[in-house]
Amino acid sequence: MACRVLVVHNAYQHRGGEDTVVESEIALLRAHGHAVETYARSNDEVGGMSSLALARQTLWSDRTPHDLASLVVRFRPDVIHTHNTFPLISPSLYWAAARAGVPVVQTLHNFRLMCLNALFLRDGTVCEDCMGQLPWRGVARACYRGSHAASAALAGMLALHRGLGTYRNKVARYIALNEFCRGKFIEGGLPAERVVVKPNFVDFAAPEPALRAGLLFVGRLSPEKGVATLAGAMARLPDAALRVAGDGPEAGLLDGVTGVTCLGSLPGEMVRQEMNRAMALVVPSIWYENFPRTIVEAFACGLPVIASRIGALADIVRDGETGLLFEPGNPRDLADKMAWALAHPEGMAEMGQKARVQYLAEFSAEVNYRRLMEIYDGVLAEQRQAKDASYKIQGSRGEG
């Protein structure tokens, strides 16, 4: 029987990969005959709120339990699948779901539960100072949006709900996007038996054979994406060609760099066209990327990836098989790998073929759907077992 799924998501002001993942997963469920309802809030609402009101909503939203109770009565979901509750939906969602008797599955797209800026990144380097403890250092350093007050509100939310046992007791399953991230979440205090792995996916047909040339970057041009490293590498390769699809605060670092063509932000279909014509995708991130959707898209297009040897990237991209790895933050090492790729088109083409095989085996829509159903089925089976145990206890007390 197809289960009924209520998808919950607090959308961001600037649309990103997480929002796309949510939409893709909803479409996947509906394509397989599942009834899906959504409960969505948007950070566009924040603009009309006072700082005090926003802080209060972050700790505990009064609106969410009321909205959820109405949805549960009307839609009768079997599972509530949550992606982001910060800041407007808030963790009050988990308590409302428990009162309604509906299990919650939570996908963890970033490290917000352990790090105020969600990146484990400070001053351009990896920082795990708040791992496994209250993030008071993040408040002192104003790690969230450079604001001590906003950082304190977020830290207060984490402290309150850790103390209440919300994260340990009110979520049936956490979905990490890879084994590296799963390990970090467990290290940060989430119960290991409730953290499972399901990567992101895309649904792409095999690319048409084409002559590939040049390098490609796709993503937000922001510090954690390694834009400075990319610019430094290209400065060492005056004969290389790099096309850049994206925009952001560090776009200026690539202005005037020889061989760089800035395309700005592109719609998905045009990004796919760029991936089908490039020789390699460059992912120079300096933070623990959870699971860049761009890598899945590249593999689906038969495009190998040159990525930083950091966090999950070192597991997703198989060095010498589906791409090349380089030392994060090292423009010279990146330049060396880019130069090798440009000098060995046949080798890169072979890696691209292996990348497509890896996509079909691990990141396709059908593989992802089966894994998602395994997670839902496991949660619902546990719920049935808990109810049966409860009935037996009540029955034995009645017999006494």
Each domain of the chain, given as residue ranges in start order, spans 5-201+366-399, 215-363
Torsion, CA 311, CA 313, CA 316, CA 317, rounded to 10 = -140
> What is the DSSP code string of 156-198?
HHHHHHHHHTHHHHS-SEEEESSHHHHHHHHHTT--GGGEEE-
Average pLDDT of the segment spanning 322-333: 98
Provide mean pLDDT across the span 123-135. 95
Dihedral pair phi/psi, residue 283, rounded to 5°: -125, 90
Show the 3-state SS of 32-55.
Answer: CCCCEEEEEEEHHHHHHCCHHHHH
Which CATH code fits 215-363? Answer: 3.40.50.2000
pLDDT at 155: 97
* DSSP-assigned letter for residue 201: -
pLDDT band at 389 (very low <50, low <70, confident <90, very high): confident
Contact by Cβ (8 Å): 34, 47? no
Domains 5-201+366-399 and 215-363 share a fold: yes
Q: How many helices (H) and strands (E) does the chain have?
A: 15, 14
What mean pLDDT comes out for the span 143-167? 96
Burial class (CB in 10 A: 0-12, 13-18, 19+), 284: buried
CA torsion angle for 81, 87, 91, 94 (degrees, to 10)?
-20
Domain 5-201+366-399 CATH superfamily: Glycogen Phosphorylase B; (3.40.50.2000)
* CA 126 to chain CA mean position, Å: 18
Task: Give 189's Cβ-side CA count (13 Å radius).
Answer: 20
Using alpha carbons, select from 117, 115, 57 the residue that is nearest to residue 91.
Answer: 57
Query: In DSSP terms, which residues pair with 9 in a beta bridge?
Result: 40, 84
CA distances in angstroms from 149 to 44, 129, 141, 345, 374, listed in the order given:
20, 20, 11, 52, 41
pLDDT at 167 over 90: yes
> What is the rounded average pLDDT for all residues in the chain?
95
Q: Is the pLDDT of residue 399 over 60?
A: no
What pLDDT sits at residue 170?
98
Q: Evaluate whether 143 touches 116 at the Cβ level (below 8 Å).
A: yes
- pLDDT value of position 1: 66
Residue 70 above 70 pLDDT?
yes
State residue 47's pLDDT score.
84
Question: What pLDDT shows up at residue 208?
Answer: 87
**The pLDDT of residue 246 is above 60:** yes
Q: Quickly tell me which residue has 């963790």 as its tokens.
A: 91
Residue 400 has pLDDT above 50, yes or no: no
What local confidence, expressed as pLDDT, does residue 388 receive?
Answer: 78
Range scoring the smallest mean pLDDT among 267-271, 311-315, 387-391, 394-398: 394-398
Residue 398: which pLDDT band, with cuts at 50, 70 and 90? low
Average pLDDT over residues 300-328: 97
Q: Which residues contact 305 (CB under 8 A, 6 or more apart)?
A: 280, 281, 282, 283, 295, 298, 299, 317, 322, 323, 324, 355
The total of other beta-carbon atoms located within 10 Å of residue 117's CB is 24
Which residue, among 272, 105, 277, has the nearest Cα to 203 in the 3D structure?
Answer: 272
DSSP class of residue 119 equals S
Here the tokens at position 183 are 């390990």
Give the pLDDT mean for 85-92: 97
What tokens appear for 21 in the block? Answer: 């993942």
CA distance 33 to 58: 35
Q: Which strand (E) or helix (H) includes residue 82?
A: strand 79-84
Q: What is the distance between the alpha carbons of residues 368 and 27, in angstroms, rounded to a whole number?
A: 13
125-126 vs 121-122, strand pairing mode: antiparallel
What are 175's strand-pairing partners? 107, 196
The Cβ of residue 384 has, within 10 Å, a number of other Cβ atoms equal to 10
Place of tokens 């930083």: 308
- DSSP β-bridge partners for residue 124: none
